[in-house]
Amino acid sequence: MFEITYTPFHIDVARFASDDFNPFHDKHKWQRIAGNPFGGPIALGFQLGAWLLEAVREARRQAGVDDMQRYSTLNIRYVDAVRAGDMLSVAVKPALTDASGDGLSSRFVMKRNGRTAVIGSLRTSNGPPAPLPDELAFALLLDGLPDRSVVPGGRWFLKRKFMLTSNAKNFLSAAGIDAFRYFDELDDRVHFPELYPASLLSSALLERGLHHRHDFIARPMVYSHHQITTDRDVLDRLRSNDRVNLIVSEENDADARLVHQCHAYTARGERLFHAEIGLVTLASLASAATVPA
């Protein structure tokens, strides 16, 4: 069992470190959101995901389970939002080998004040995900396109980000994780955590919304689920100031429920991760108990 409580300061640091400007997390704007039931800023979905992933890794370490597989898939389904001051606890079930014999899966449940808020799993394996057609050429093309632009063909929106150790350290601290596990300049240790590059998807999705003149106050949206598969070999090669090109699928913003396909590539054309990010309008939810954005 792992436990933590986030303060408003944790939420602020997480949003600043990941360039997330969603008003759900903003102490100056949360009350402007139409129909907002939360009563204050809520924790970031990726902030929670980083802490949950760390808890699973630590549970595996304590159990003596090998955790060196190359590919890591984090599945998260958000059931309720997390407010500052909530007591969070996560229970991680023992890791199991799946039917293929290659993958290792760990399920977890996170509760806020004793009630379920997140359910999910972490699967690790050495089996590579299927490549996209002409993926390397496409990835290299992205690096020459303008930031915050629609990729030719109209299917993808591009957001370019740069890996910064300072931001990653702040993101880890905001999630309740000791940054020393990943960074130590005197030992020349630089290991960006899995959920930090993925956390920049929030910025990419918000920038896409601005591009399409989405009204985040009148038509707020929150996350329903995340599925993120990271290539840990590519992740280990990332260094400060490396460019990462994030693309998110263009969807019909009039829909009450959206599922964005997302990819991240390094400037060298390597796929860092691919993800499926689910969003739902606040107005479409059946009750005030909802999910974090």
Over residues 192-244, the pLDDT tens digits come to: 999 999 999 999 999 999 999 999 999 999 999 999 999 999 999 999 999 99
Give the C-alpha separation, 46 to 85, whole Å.
18
Give the C-alpha separation, 267 to 291, whole Å.
34
Please report which confidence band the pLDDT of residue 290 belongs to, taking 50, 70 and 90 as the band edges: very low
* pLDDT mean over 70-88: 97
Higher-confidence residue of 285 and 129: namely 129
User: Do residues 167 and 15 touch, judged by C-beta distance below 8 A?
Assistant: no
Q: Residue 12 class from Cβ within 10 Å (0-12 exposed, 13-18 middle, 19+ buried)?
A: middle
C-alpha 195, offset from chain centre? 5
* pLDDT mean over 261-289: 87
Residue 259 has pLDDT above 60, yes or no: yes
Give the C-alpha separation, 2 to 68, whole Å.
22
Of 13, 112, 109, give the one whose Cα is nearest residue 55.
109
What are the φ/ψ torsions at residue 104 (nearest 5 degrees)?
Answer: -125, 125
Phi/psi class of residue 213: alpha, beta or left (left: φ > 0; alpha: ψ in -120 to 50)? left
Percent with pLDDT over 70 in the chain: 97
pLDDT reported for residue 293: 52
* pLDDT mean over 122-129: 92
Higher-confidence residue of 98 and 111: namely 111
CATH architecture assignment, domain 2-284: Roll (3.10)
User: What global pTM score does this model have?
Assistant: 0.93
Averaged pLDDT score across all residues of the chain = 94
Give the C-alpha separation, 147 to 137, whole Å.
18
Let me know how long the chain is.
293
11-22 residue pLDDT tens:
999 999 999 999
